[in-house]
Amino acid sequence: MGEGKGTFVGDNTDLTICEIFEGLSPETLKDFQALGRKEKYADGKMLFGTGEPCSGVYWVSSGRVDVSVSDDFGRRLQGRVARRGELLGLKAMLCDEAYAATAQSDGPSEVTFVTRSKVSAFLSAHPDATFSIVEQLSHRLGIAFDQLRLLSDLNLSLLTDA
């Protein structure tokens, strides 16, 4: 998977719609884009699996990627569908963790891969990109807290109604 395969990505059009890179200069986007390799994935081809060591990040250039997890019985639970412009594997890469989900193409897709070491070097050289990622992750954390609060309220109302 990833490094050494695919073709060089020559422009940053698919990065401009990735919310993690929102507001970054064209030069910064170009620098990141130059690190990646775009690969074509046939329907059902796995990008990474749950528990695999994180080797880098993937962003969807075209097509769709199913992101799923498995329950304790090994049943696949659909998580979400990543579409053009979405970045996958960032949390695992930043936290030095294994991938927490499985990602596989849903139909023909093009996905760009950047190795962990290249992303780390890029972030060291581009504090504006690092700050953008911190902003986006903070925003996502806020959404997760709101969802937890809603679930907690729902559980309380179910218990009091019983």
Domain ranges for the chain, please list them: 7-161
Q: What is the DSSP letter of 43?
A: T
Topology of the domain covering 7-161: Jelly Rolls (2.60.120)
The pLDDT of 130-151, averaged and rounded, is 85
Q: Give the whole-angstrom CA distance, residue 105 versus residue 1.
A: 13
> Quick check: 96 pLDDT over 90?
yes
The pLDDT of 40-53, averaged and rounded, is 96
Q: Give the whole-angstrom CA distance, residue 35 versus residue 122.
A: 9
Identify the pLDDT of residue 20: 74
Q: Binning pLDDT at 50, 70 and 90, where does residue 5 land?
A: very low
The pLDDT of 7-27, averaged and rounded, is 64
